Amino acid sequence: MQASKIKKLDSDKRFRRVLAASTLAGDKVRNTLGEDLGKIDEIMIDIPTGRVAYAVLSFGGILRMGNKLFAVPWSSLRVDEDEKCFILDVDTKMLETAPGFDKDNWPDMADAGWGAEIFSYYHAIPYWDDAGGRISRGAGR
């Protein structure tokens, strides 16, 4: 994660460059206006490349009932070290119309069409393309 991907105002604190995925699951996600967008449920790893494929954002519902899940490109998220949350630069209306899935019907990230749709929706360069060449893709969950 590049330093520009980390928001940190307290200059006395050292930001953390490497964190356990389990410590990030459950973290809140807000937009740049400070609106609550949900929380990180999972962080999905592309096994062949060892790269983070996407984060699963849980949004909506009451008491986790009826939550919609979203695959959000890792590159679309920033970490706010001061607030210990993620920042996703979308408004709630955009998130409400984003392609999503439910907990019993996970998408297959190996489906190139689905992956391209997700990354395009968030105006992100697919992680398998951002190294200048095509990276072999692993099976999704």
Domain count, the chain: 1
> Where in the sequence is the domain holding 60, given as residue range(s)?
3-7+17-121
99 domain residue, yes or no: yes
| Amino acid at residue number 62 | I
Q: What is the pLDDT of residue 124?
A: 93
- How confident is the model over 62-120, as pLDDT tens digits? 555 557 899 999 999 998 888 889 999 998 889 888 998 888 888 877 788 888 999 99
129 domain residue, yes or no: no
User: Which pTM was predicted?
Assistant: 0.77
105 domain residue, yes or no: yes
130 domain residue, yes or no: no
Report the 10 Å Cβ neighbour count for 121: 18
126 near 72, Cβ under 8 Å?
Answer: no
9 near 82, Cβ under 8 Å?
Answer: yes
Cα dihedral value 84, 56, 60, 117, nearest 10: 130
How far CA 47 is from CA of 20, 78, 124, 127, 139, in Å, comes to 16, 23, 20, 13, 8
CATH of the domain at 112: 2.30.30.240
34 domain residue, yes or no: yes
The share of the chain scoring above pLDDT 90, in percent, equals 35
pLDDT band at 3 (very low <50, low <70, confident <90, very high): very low
